[in-house]
Structure 1
Amino acid sequence: MKILYINAMGPYEAWPQAGVFVSERVAALRKNGVDVTACSYYQINSPAVQRVVTRNGGPDLGTPIAQQAGVTYGIRKIPNGFFSAAMQRFRPNFWEKRIARQVRRDMEESKADLIHLHWIWPMGLGVMRYCRETGVPYVLTCHGGDIYSDMKDMRKRPYILKMLEGAAAVEFVSKALLESAKELGYSGKNAAVVYNGIRTSVFYPARQEHPGKTVVGFAGVMILRKGIDYLPEIFRRIQELIPGEIHFYMIGSGVLREEIEKKMAGLPVDFLGTIPSEKLAERFNEMDILLLPSRQEGYGCVIKEAQACGAVPIGRDVDGIREAVDGFGSLIAYTGDDDAFISAFAEETAAYVSGEKPIDRAAMEAQAARCSWEERQKDSIAIYQRILGKAD
């Protein structure tokens, strides 16, 4: 069984952890004996286009990098100049032939039996075209923004629906994400839910106890969708409610980091940026509470990592977080009242810290430990076997 595995999510010099869960899947598949050729496909903006993107508040992710989480990728660059950018506004499938040519080259070199693409827009255009022309089966994995954002774009939706319906299988990282795709017109006939996993060799209990001190944190991309605009006030109210020493961690990077740093001035908070998994596990083993006020979440993999280290998650009651919390932690409903939402996060944090709300940390850690990448990727392997078995 040979798989051409296409990562359309990174990584980049400026964001080395981008799409790391794709690399973890590749590593897990290889450990399970699957022959995987890994390539990263990038849309590379010309300097002029990038200046426009940056001026409009978009990110400059910098140069693609080939290595992540022990996986080495073949880097594939699809150039995007002003003409290409303009044409996409009128022809959303403008990239189709160009991407398909690159897919053909990679298939000829890899001799793969099947293509698996992560993040469907726009690279799925070329994958679909190549597979339609050759009869090679393809699998898609949807992670969140490709459904919540790209598929909601009425210009892109017809093409995305064709990609989804034409795939041999479509993986979703949560049940909630699958339901969102169905609400936008997808039939679900070829769907499967394959959750992200955790590196159990890295994320495990090694608690750093700190009597009289409370540690609360956030880990994720610092963008509006993650709800980080709520955190400055949540942190202040936690500080008011909990006696003794308190410390906050903000882990990750993103376009709102500078703004949030200014709003948290005066708080005992460390902004750690994007850190390696081993360092992240150390911070989770320090934390008492992990806060995730996300407006949307495909699947809160960081929740399982934190639980495995003994940190209790408190998250907004959205489906991707609800699935990950899975009974160990708290869910805060948003009713339209920002002040009540913020207070609920602070009060729930105080209840755990005081012991008013107990939690069985050993049971939480044990449940998270069963979510290894190797175990989770057995579901993908079963999908491949079913597809290739039918082909035979």
Structure 2
Amino acid sequence: MKILIINHFPLEGSGSGVYTKNLAKELTEIGHKVKVIFPENRKVPPEIFEIRPIMFMDDNTKDYEIDFNFPCFTSHPRSNTTFYQLNKKQMRDYIDIMVIVTKEEVDKFEPDIIHAQHLWITPYAAQKTGLPYVVTVHGTDLKGFKQDKRYHPYALKGAQNARKVITISKQVDRETKELYHIEDEKRKIVYNGYDTKFFKVKNVSRKEALEKFGINEMPDYIVSFAGKLAHFKGVDILLKAAKIYENQMKEKVLTLIAGNGVLYEELIKLKNFLELKNTFFLGYISDEQLIDLYNIADVST
């Protein structure tokens, strides 16, 4: 089978990007032909599947198709532009490029089916081709739907014409039904998976792993967080909890926060205000570092 996958974000730096990349790899490895359309603002290396990056502009981009950075629902390590900040022309340009590139790739790649990510613009672009398509709802698209009504006609059109709508949790499934009025038989909950070849229990030296993060302390316990530094992730609550256990526990507890996002500076200020001595922001880390982090942590939030 030939499958065209469309996402709103690059293949790294966001949950849906990682989901898209892993899905494309797994489908390719079991014998399907896959092509992925996604926004980018830098050159990307080849993958085992075909790719069609849509080039957006940032400070380091020389050749671009769209003269602003790729928009997000919250933030991305390489873009703080949001869909809600786009003016009328930018919004039109974004929708047009998604539709145009999707149609072009359908003509070139001749897929049997399209898998669109998020109930937003990609399913709208997919339905313009006349091909059967399914959509995965990731959750941040629901937040976008609540926040900016300008996108409702496109999101609803894409939702209503999908063959199937995949939701990643019970909460996302419930909100998808409420917001988009998609009937029960059309929705299917498929929980996010992970690559068991990489994300597994390993014998990792806590001392060596911490040194790689630039930390030369040996705690009794480690609490970790890995994800986007956005409001809905609740990292501010974790910092306030860290204040309690740093003060009240006899044992030394390190709090390690991996990831980036629009709240980075605000959370650093909160850390300093709370006078947290054993809390460290690691920034964006690689998958290999993330595996180490999970293995040395006693609690992952």
TM class by shorter chain equals 0.7 to 0.9
Cα deviation 1:122-181 (Å, max 9, x = unaligned): 2333222222xxxx1111111111112225533333432221110111111112211101
TM-score calculated relative to the size of structure 2: 0.76
Q: Provide the residue aligned with 2:240 in structure 1.
A: 233
- 1:205 maps onto 2:193 in alignment: no
Q: Which amino acid aligns with 1:66?
A: V
Deviation at 1:191, TM superposition (A): 1.5
Q: Provide the residue aligned with 1:66 in structure 2.
A: 44
Distance 1:170 1:64 in 2: 31
Q: How does 1:30-41 map to 2 (within 5 A)?
A: 30-41=28-39
- 1:101 maps onto 2:100 in alignment: yes
Distance 1:279 1:138 in 2: 35
- 1:184 maps onto 2:191 in alignment: no
* Alpha carbons of structure 1 residues 169 and 244: separation in structure 2 relative to 1, 3 Å: same
Distance 1:20 1:249 in 2: 22
* Alpha carbons of structure 1 residues 197 and 17: separation in structure 2 relative to 1, 3 Å: closer
- 1:137 maps onto 2:137 in alignment: no
Aligned residues: 261
Q: Provide the residue aligned with 1:244 in structure 2.
A: 251
Residue 161 of structure 1: which of 153, 156, 159 is its match?
Answer: 156
Q: What is the percent sequence identity of the aligned residues? A: 25
* Alpha carbons of structure 1 residues 233 and 100: separation in structure 2 relative to 1, 3 Å: closer
* Alpha carbons of structure 1 residues 259 and 178: separation in structure 2 relative to 1, 3 Å: same
- 1:272 maps onto 2:279 in alignment: no
Question: Which segment drifts farther, 114-123 or 208-217?
Answer: 208-217
* Alpha carbons of structure 1 residues 72 and 240: separation in structure 2 relative to 1, 3 Å: farther
* Alpha carbons of structure 1 residues 243 and 11: separation in structure 2 relative to 1, 3 Å: same
Asked if the contact 2:8/2:38 (under 8 Å) is kept, the reply is yes
List gaps (5 residues or longer) in structure 1.
Answer: 43-62, 292-392
* Alpha carbons of structure 1 residues 233 and 207: separation in structure 2 relative to 1, 3 Å: farther
RMSD of Structure 2 on Structure 1 (CA)? 2.9
- 1:172 maps onto 2:167 in alignment: yes
Higher relative contact order (CA closer than 8 Å, sequence separation 6+): 1
Q: Provide the residue aligned with 1:7 in structure 2.
A: 7
Question: Which segment drifts farther, 153-162 or 217-226?
Answer: 153-162
* Alpha carbons of structure 1 residues 139 and 27: separation in structure 2 relative to 1, 3 Å: same
Distance 2:222 2:121 in 1: 41
Q: Provide the residue aligned with 1:128 in structure 2.
A: 127
Distance 1:235 1:108 in 2: 54
Cα deviation 1:198-237 (Å, max 9, x = unaligned): 1111111125587971111111101111111222221111
Deviation at 1:69, TM superposition (A): 8.0
List gaps (5 residues or longer) in structure 2.
Answer: 56-64, 69-84, 207-217
* Alpha carbons of structure 1 residues 248 and 69: separation in structure 2 relative to 1, 3 Å: farther
Deviation at 1:72, TM superposition (A): 5.9
Q: Secondary structure at the match of 2:129?
A: helix
- 1:281 maps onto 2:291 in alignment: yes
Deviation at 1:184, TM superposition (A): 1.4
Q: Provide the residue aligned with 2:264 in structure 1.
A: 257
Q: Provide the residue aligned with 1:374 in structure 2.
A: none
Distance 2:192 2:298 in 1: 23
Distance 1:153 1:102 in 2: 24
Q: Secondary structure at the match of 2:149?
A: coil
* Alpha carbons of structure 1 residues 185 and 119: separation in structure 2 relative to 1, 3 Å: closer
Distance 1:283 1:240 in 2: 24
Asked if the contact 1:97/1:129 (under 8 Å) is kept, the reply is no
Asked if the contact 2:113/2:132 (under 8 Å) is kept, the reply is yes
Asked if the contact 2:34/2:50 (under 8 Å) is kept, the reply is no
TM-score calculated relative to the size of structure 1: 0.60
Q: Secondary structure at the match of 2:198?
A: coil
